[in-house]
Structure 1
Amino acid sequence: MAICSEYIKNEFPLIDDDLKHYVESILENGAEDFESSDEVFEAVGEVLQEVSNNKTEDDIKLICEKLLDMLKPNRSGTISNGEAKVLNAPVHLGSIVANLDSNIEDIKSIWVASRDESLKVDSKKLEKAEAKLQQKQEKRSNEVSKPASNTPKLEIASASQVTSKKDSKLEAKGTNRTQDIRIENFDVAYGDRVLLQGADLLLAFGRRYGLVGRNGLGKTTLLRMISGGHLRIPSHISILHVEQEVIGDDTAALDSVLQCDEVRERLLAREKEISFLLNAGSTDPELSNELSEVYAQLQNIEADKAPAKASIILNGLGFSSEMQARPTKTFSGGWRMRLALARALFSRPDLLLLDEPTNMLDIKAIIWLENYLQNWPTTLLVVSHDRNFLDTVPTDILHLHTQRIETYRGNYEQFEKTKTEKHKNQQREYEAQQQHRAHVQEFIDRFRYNANRAASVQSKIKMLEKLPELKPIEKEVDVVLRFPETEPLSPPILQLDEVLFRYNQGKIIFSNVNLSATLESRICIVGDNGAGKTTLLKIIMGILTPTSGTRHVHRNLKFGYFSQHHVDQLDMNVNSVELLQGSYPGKSIEEYRRQLGSFGVSGDMALQTVGSLSGGQKSRVAFARMCMGKPNFLVLDEPTNHLDIETIEALGKGINKYTGGVILVSHDERLIRLVCKELWVCGGGLVHSIEGGFDEYRRIVERELEAAASK
């Protein structure tokens, strides 16, 4: 083709690049089908004639002959142009054109020069080619849009993958020592839904990956498939998935963490056995030698420093010295999850899998964890919807969408910029190809029955067939959360005066609390875990009564209370519509569905059993049920747990549009900055409002962490 291009440039120096590329594409796509120089002339002769100033038609035909020789250097000879034919009667072209479909043969008979008819591409051949193209396109579209009902229903999550023979041989020989993890061409399904199809995942050793994507797409399932061995990775790579809370027993919290170091535990146990035997009077010289080896190994792994390392991790996650000495059975589920995280951080597996690690932490612990993970030495794969965490910890972002995974370098902020620009470019490329297809199709439709253009038409049909099939960018549906309209109330709305509270004459949780709120309030309550944030919410709503002091509320004030416990207590065996029917009977199905739709639970999702929904989808159902009662004051306790980033953004926008009052407890920095106008801090037995908002609170926390680290 390069020779043809050079020849065209030499023969037609005035030809512009667009026309030259057009001629080259016709020649390249039709090379296999051209049987004579006449066919080449019919395809490109007219264009070449237009860009030539001094060449006759015979010159152009000669050039076409040479182009054909270049395209087919081994052809067996040229085709005769046929003999001239003399018309035996006048021909009225107007009447022939009017009856074009039925007079194809009459038109053929008027050409003065004719070729072998077997070499021509007539209308039937064109129609056949077009039908074949149409059939291929329909087949392709059918494969893409097979109904979900054809997918076999599975009761549990399942995965399959293709592994290379090279990796299988290395694994069988035990010589695979790579620390990188490559999972290629794998599928993951859950129930009758295909979550990932033909996906690839590469985790380079020492990098920190943030896995993001909408609720319900399979992020948690993917982590379970990896940790459960359903997706194969090199057997020498150790994996730890922080998913289950630590089982409570009499083991102290610090010892529970230390037990994760199995090598250290084994050496210490052996050291005790040998010491006992020697103290009992054994004179076996081998025991003394083995004891020396054990001491040397303990020194090599710095076993004496392990308790201090474990204590630093526990302290960072909120365990005081007193708490570190307590048995694990004395801790609540949330604290046992923190303990599981501490064990994982201490043991340092080759691949650490974390699923929403910030859900169980207060803001101080989150800031500590962000700082700690920035120096993580092995590979980290974390699912998180905390924007600030994703901007601070990951070196790479894995975006799960449309049943595949795309990798982006950088943190979440960089990922958003890169993804937006990439989608713009892909959309521009798609639109340009659509315009090109339409232009080519217009040419085909215009000249499909023109015998002079037959070869050109056929080459364009083949060119269309060979074009890669680009698809428009699939825009993810925006999540919208619509809270109900409320009627205004005259102040005072809510007020706490000199409130003190303790449980059953126990330790005072807080005292001297003087706070107030209105329907315009956007208040966030922050503080360490155990400081009394949830207790304060319950006093505000009247669930708990102050030990002393008074609580004043407007007689028409109606609270809507949301907590993660409410999500866990939803009836998992009914669908979302039935759930709302059970809580608010007597309304029409359309009203229940409209309410669910206000929180993004629409279509088939509203008819799925609640148990089959993702954590974020369950949260939206809980929001819909809470708002069915038309509250005019929202009290939200950790509302972002299990919500994806887009839904957290929608929650913030929904709260800002809400006409009632809002008090929330949250550790999500992004939501706090989006919503809150006032910050109440719980700590030291007090509750007080601070000036400077969240920025000031973060500075206070960072100073406390620095002070603790310097001790």
Structure 2
Amino acid sequence: MANCGEFIRSQFPLIDDELMKYVKDILDSSAGEFEDTEEVYEAVGEVLQGISEKSEDDIREICEKLLHMLQPEKCGTANGLRKVLDAPIHLASMTTNHNETDDLKSIWLQTRDDNLKVDAKKLEKAEAKLQQKQQKQKEAKMPTAAPVLQTATASQVTSKKDSKLEAKGNNRTQDIRIENLDIAYGDRVLLQGADLILACGRRYGLVGRNGLGKTTLLRMIYSKQLKIPSHISILHVEQEVVGDDTLALQSVLECDTVRENLLKREKEITAAISNGSADVSLSTELSEVYAQLENIEADKAPAKASIILSGLGFTPEMQQRATRTFSGGWRMRLALARALFSKPDLLLLDEPTNMLDIKAIIWLENYLQNWPTTLLVVSHDRNFLDTVPTDILHLHSQRIDAYKGNYEQFYKTKTERLRNQQREYEAQQQHRAHTQEFIDRFRYNANRASSVQSKIKMLDRLPELKPVEKELEVVLRFPDAEPLSPPILQINEVSFYYTKDKIIFSNVNLGATLESRICIVGDNGAGKTTLLKIIMGILSPTVGMRSVHRGLKFGYFSQHHVDQLEMNVNSVELLQKTYPGKSIEEYRRQLGSFGVSGDLALQTIASLSGGQKSRVAFAQMCMGNPNFLVLDEPTNHLDIETIEALGKAINKFTGGVILVSHDERLLRVVCKEFWVCGNGSVTNIEGGFDEYRRIVERELEAQNKS
């Protein structure tokens, strides 16, 4: 460890003694347990990055060197190389050139029979057989390569008129009409004969159960696999911004290609004139460039970009940082900021609230209410869907139904429509039964023959109504928790910091019981996940005490849990690997309690939707029968019905729950206590979510005024 300490000091000369001790303690306690560089980075990478300006790649390289120091056996011999023998060696022959007194001569080497030498040809055959056997075993255990995922295919009907206009370049409509649309994912049909009509300037919320094809539909629109007018610009916020040396603010400004090209041309002309160019046309062109820049209000662009970044949580200091210094979540925010700034004709957003804290969500809701072009957003946030969309598109039963109004109006209209359809169906069934009874009764009565024939014809002419297709109710069931006598969980006078000038929080005094339903809220980076890790004992507090009941068992659902699942196995195999020794029926029963049943449990994890992966992650978490749940952003991939089922399951759970979430509806249903992280402390607020929302709205008002 001395070498590690010297190495860390050489890389981070300004590191203080307490932080050095903290890092060394972590490395010392887990020295033999690290499997790879990634685990070293997870243990100390964030701490080291917080005390320097080094990039994430630099920190990972340092972590790799630390792993080599801690576990030199993983790096070969002292010179870093492993000698692999590719032929048999007869040790006796190595001593023939030495004297009898030579140290290399040994007793067993002297008396070894030369007949015992390994035959090279036999050894080669044996090794070939062994390799063949090992290869067969490997192939039997797992696939030789990751499964090739099926791709979606689409078809649609386009009118000859639209095709001619498109071919001539005369199509100027801003509305999008995709009619008689079919989408299949392998053998599975997602949409059949569906219509998608998006009117210019309307804001559409696309809703539906997990796995029905909402994300697939957005991707096919963006990739132009579905034909829409070529002059309509589309932007799909799905991939995070690539990290490089471009400043965050400049990254947003670069989206306006017209402005960027004009500024570039302005510099070129100015440089040419400064260098004494005699071209008279340059002055004229420069005047035209200035006029165009003034026309598009180019001077106001930096302020507009800064407002968007600020609303999404970027401080003035963060706006001047290189994009490579941000984590994946912040780069996704940058991608959203770029989309909002560039204002495409059609903006596609897939779960935009997943990456945002409550303050940023409220800002985004307000910003999108004045969105000037067409918006199509997939979201499962009820409050967001009540605030932003002017229309709701409901994807179900391989079709898309359009409704005017927000989600609340859609839900009322849909419920009433289904109720009326069911009444109409039941009335027709009664009418059919009554008519059929008359026909059966008088079928062979000659006096009633004409009436019977009339009734038969009437039945044939009746339209055949189908019963209302009811979507299966989603039910989630957490296991019964083992009861414990208090005290259960307590943290006293706890402080945590990576460096003394970077305190996350201090003097925190909080407690929880098996009846607790606690929500931790606060801005991104305020320390919510850090607090969770201290509560569970993953991190040790810098100052203060954490005490827990010895029988307490945590079930932790991290916000990255879904991405960390093994993708090449099915759900049953995943549980078998995590909790071996149980029957297949027990694994399937566990998955079934979270809605993963039938053939779904036998599909590879990679082929499941985000919401289905979340359910598998819940099943995996609960297989250990925890009595205290710690849930970090559990709703990120869940549909509305599953979020409601999650709320009911949490309320029925007999253990304690601590929750980090931005889903307003879930928080109102579940949480009785709110812990707010921010300004270097954690406070317990009275008044629940309504009070926290008022606090956030006041902060946004003050921010807008400044």
Bin for the TM-score computed over the shorter chain: 0.7 to 0.9
- State yes or no: 1:538 paired with 2:542: no
Once residues 176 and 447 of structure 1 are traced to their aligned partners in structure 2, the CA distance between those partners, rounded to angstroms, is: 64
Once residues 319 and 657 of structure 2 are traced to their aligned partners in structure 1, the CA distance between those partners, rounded to angstroms, is: 36
Residues 154 and 190 in structure 1, CA contact (< 8 A), matched pair in contact too: no
Find the counterpart in structure 2 of residue 47 from structure 1: none
Find the counterpart in structure 2 of residue 597 from structure 1: 592
Once residues 480 and 623 of structure 2 are traced to their aligned partners in structure 1, the CA distance between those partners, rounded to angstroms, is: 11
Once residues 450 and 224 of structure 1 are traced to their aligned partners in structure 2, the CA distance between those partners, rounded to angstroms, is: 65
Once residues 196 and 589 of structure 1 are traced to their aligned partners in structure 2, the CA distance between those partners, rounded to angstroms, is: 34
Q: Amino acid of the residue matched to residue 678 of structure 2?
A: G
Q: 1:101-180 alignment to 2 at 5 Å? A: 155-180=150-175
Once residues 193 and 569 of structure 1 are traced to their aligned partners in structure 2, the CA distance between those partners, rounded to angstroms, is: 26
Q: 1:515-526 alignment to 2 at 5 Å? A: 515-526=510-521
Q: Amino acid of the residue matched to residue 478 of structure 1?
A: E
1:458: how far off?
Answer: 3.7
Secondary structure of 2:544's partner? strand
**Unpaired stretches in structure 2, ≥5 consecutive residues:** 1-147
Per-residue CA deviation, residues 80-117 of structure 1 (Å, 9 max, x unaligned), is xxxxxxxxxxxxxxxxxxxxxxxxxxxxxxxxxxxxxx
Find the counterpart in structure 2 of residue 655 from structure 1: 650
Residues 149 and 607 in structure 2, CA contact (< 8 A), matched pair in contact too: no
Per-residue CA deviation, residues 7-42 of structure 1 (Å, 9 max, x unaligned), is xxxxxxxxxxxxxxxxxxxxxxxxxxxxxxxxxxxx
Q: Amino acid of the residue matched to residue 160 of structure 2?
A: K
Once residues 590 and 499 of structure 2 are traced to their aligned partners in structure 1, the CA distance between those partners, rounded to angstroms, is: 41
Per mean C-alpha deviation after superposition, the further-off stretch among 425-434 and 168-177 is: 168-177
Find the counterpart in structure 2 of residue 9 from structure 1: none
1:439: how far off?
Answer: 2.1
Once residues 455 and 499 of structure 2 are traced to their aligned partners in structure 1, the CA distance between those partners, rounded to angstroms, is: 86
Once residues 255 and 461 of structure 2 are traced to their aligned partners in structure 1, the CA distance between those partners, rounded to angstroms, is: 58
Once residues 286 and 504 of structure 1 are traced to their aligned partners in structure 2, the CA distance between those partners, rounded to angstroms, is: 60
Per-residue CA deviation, residues 257-287 of structure 1 (Å, 9 max, x unaligned), is 0000011011111111100000000121110
1:505: how far off?
Answer: 5.6
Structure with bigger gyration radius: 1
Among 377, 380, 387, the residue aligned to 1:385: 380
Q: Amino acid of the residue matched to residue 681 of structure 2?
A: L
Q: Amino acid of the residue matched to residue 410 of structure 2?
A: F
Q: Amino acid of the residue matched to residue 362 of structure 1?
A: D
Find the counterpart in structure 2 of residue 53 from structure 1: none
Q: Amino acid of the residue matched to residue 182 of structure 1?
A: R
1:366: how far off?
Answer: 0.2
Secondary structure of 2:561's partner? helix
- State yes or no: 1:214 paired with 2:209: yes
Q: Amino acid of the residue matched to residue 338 of structure 1?
A: R
Per-residue CA deviation, residues 456-482 of structure 1 (Å, 9 max, x unaligned), is 434433332332221111111111111
Once residues 187 and 543 of structure 1 are traced to their aligned partners in structure 2, the CA distance between those partners, rounded to angstroms, is: 49
Once residues 574 and 461 of structure 2 are traced to their aligned partners in structure 1, the CA distance between those partners, rounded to angstroms, is: 52
Once residues 276 and 453 of structure 2 are traced to their aligned partners in structure 1, the CA distance between those partners, rounded to angstroms, is: 99
Say if 1:378 and 1:609 are closer, same or farther in 2 by CA, change over 3 A.
same
Q: Amino acid of the residue matched to residue 674 of structure 1?
A: V
Find the counterpart in structure 1 of residue 63 from structure 2: none
Say if 1:165 and 1:456 are closer, same or farther in 2 by CA, change over 3 A.
farther
Among 409, 413, 424, the residue aligned to 1:414: 409
Among 471, 474, 493, the residue aligned to 2:466: 471
Q: Amino acid of the residue matched to residue 315 of structure 2?
A: S
Per-residue CA deviation, residues 372-413 of structure 1 (Å, 9 max, x unaligned), is 000000000000000100010001111111010111111111
Residues 260 and 346 in structure 1, CA contact (< 8 A), matched pair in contact too: yes
Find the counterpart in structure 1 of residue 475 from structure 2: 480
1:487: how far off?
Answer: 2.2
Find the counterpart in structure 2 of residue 615 from structure 1: 610
Secondary structure of 2:629's partner? strand
Per-residue CA deviation, residues 137-187 of structure 1 (Å, 9 max, x unaligned), is xxxxxxxxxxxxxxxx99201111011112112211221111111111001
Per mean C-alpha deviation after superposition, the further-off stretch among 501-510 and 655-664 is: 501-510
Among 306, 325, 337, the residue aligned to 2:332: 337
Find the counterpart in structure 2 of residue 14 from structure 1: none
Find the counterpart in structure 1 of residue 318 from structure 2: 323
Residues 154 and 192 in structure 1, CA contact (< 8 A), matched pair in contact too: no
Q: Amino acid of the residue matched to residue 494 of structure 2?
A: V
1:292: how far off?
Answer: 0.4
Residues 351 and 377 in structure 2, CA contact (< 8 A), matched pair in contact too: yes
**Unpaired stretches in structure 1, ≥5 consecutive residues:** 1-152
> Alignment length, in residue pairs?
559
Quote the RMSD (CA, aligned, Å): 1.3
Per mean C-alpha deviation after superposition, the further-off stretch among 464-473 and 583-592 is: 464-473
1:515: how far off?
Answer: 0.5
Among 482, 491, 496, the residue aligned to 2:491: 496
1:444: how far off?
Answer: 2.7
1:241: how far off?
Answer: 0.5
Find the counterpart in structure 2 of residue 706 from structure 1: 701
Among 392, 395, 398, the residue aligned to 1:400: 395
Q: Amino acid of the residue matched to residue 276 of structure 2?
A: G
- State yes or no: 1:641 paired with 2:636: yes
Among 431, 435, 448, the residue aligned to 1:436: 431
Once residues 393 and 631 of structure 1 are traced to their aligned partners in structure 2, the CA distance between those partners, rounded to angstroms, is: 38
Once residues 649 and 429 of structure 1 are traced to their aligned partners in structure 2, the CA distance between those partners, rounded to angstroms, is: 30
Q: 1:181-200 alignment to 2 at 5 Å? A: 181-200=176-195
1:329: how far off?
Answer: 0.6
Q: Amino acid of the residue matched to residue 710 of structure 1?
A: K
Once residues 453 and 611 of structure 2 are traced to their aligned partners in structure 1, the CA distance between those partners, rounded to angstroms, is: 53
TM-score normalised per structure 1: 0.77
Once residues 553 and 530 of structure 1 are traced to their aligned partners in structure 2, the CA distance between those partners, rounded to angstroms, is: 26
1:519: how far off?
Answer: 0.5
Residues 190 and 213 in structure 2, CA contact (< 8 A), matched pair in contact too: yes
Q: Amino acid of the residue matched to residue 440 of structure 2?
A: D
Secondary structure of 1:503's partner? strand
- State yes or no: 1:264 paired with 2:264: no
Once residues 283 and 495 of structure 1 are traced to their aligned partners in structure 2, the CA distance between those partners, rounded to angstroms, is: 79
Find the counterpart in structure 2 of residue 626 from structure 1: 621
Q: 1:275-294 alignment to 2 at 5 Å? A: 275-294=270-289
Secondary structure of 1:222's partner? helix
Q: Amino acid of the residue matched to residue 418 of structure 1?
A: T
Once residues 214 and 470 of structure 1 are traced to their aligned partners in structure 2, the CA distance between those partners, rounded to angstroms, is: 25
Find the counterpart in structure 1 of residue 129 from structure 2: none
Among 674, 684, 687, the residue aligned to 1:692: 687
Once residues 336 and 385 of structure 2 are traced to their aligned partners in structure 1, the CA distance between those partners, rounded to angstroms, is: 18
1:656: how far off?
Answer: 0.5
Residues 386 and 408 in structure 2, CA contact (< 8 A), matched pair in contact too: yes
Q: Amino acid of the residue matched to residue 288 of structure 2?
A: E
Say if 1:154 and 1:627 are closer, same or farther in 2 by CA, change over 3 A.
closer
Once residues 303 and 507 of structure 1 are traced to their aligned partners in structure 2, the CA distance between those partners, rounded to angstroms, is: 38
Once residues 149 and 563 of structure 2 are traced to their aligned partners in structure 1, the CA distance between those partners, rounded to angstroms, is: 24
Find the counterpart in structure 1 of residue 365 from structure 2: 370
Q: Amino acid of the residue matched to residue 654 of structure 1?
A: A
Once residues 190 and 640 of structure 2 are traced to their aligned partners in structure 1, the CA distance between those partners, rounded to angstroms, is: 19
Once residues 316 and 699 of structure 1 are traced to their aligned partners in structure 2, the CA distance between those partners, rounded to angstroms, is: 17
Once residues 425 and 540 of structure 2 are traced to their aligned partners in structure 1, the CA distance between those partners, rounded to angstroms, is: 63
Among 304, 308, 317, the residue aligned to 1:309: 304
Secondary structure of 2:402's partner? strand
Q: Amino acid of the residue matched to residue 634 of structure 2?
A: P
Find the counterpart in structure 1 of residue 505 from structure 2: 510
Once residues 285 and 434 of structure 2 are traced to their aligned partners in structure 1, the CA distance between those partners, rounded to angstroms, is: 84
1:446: how far off?
Answer: 2.8
Secondary structure of 1:605's partner? helix
Find the counterpart in structure 2 of residue 123 from structure 1: none
1:448: how far off?
Answer: 3.3
Over the matched positions of the two proteins, sequence identity in percent amounts to 84
Find the counterpart in structure 2 of residue 5 from structure 1: none
Per-residue CA deviation, residues 548-603 of structure 1 (Å, 9 max, x unaligned), is 10000000000000013111111111111111111111111111111111111111
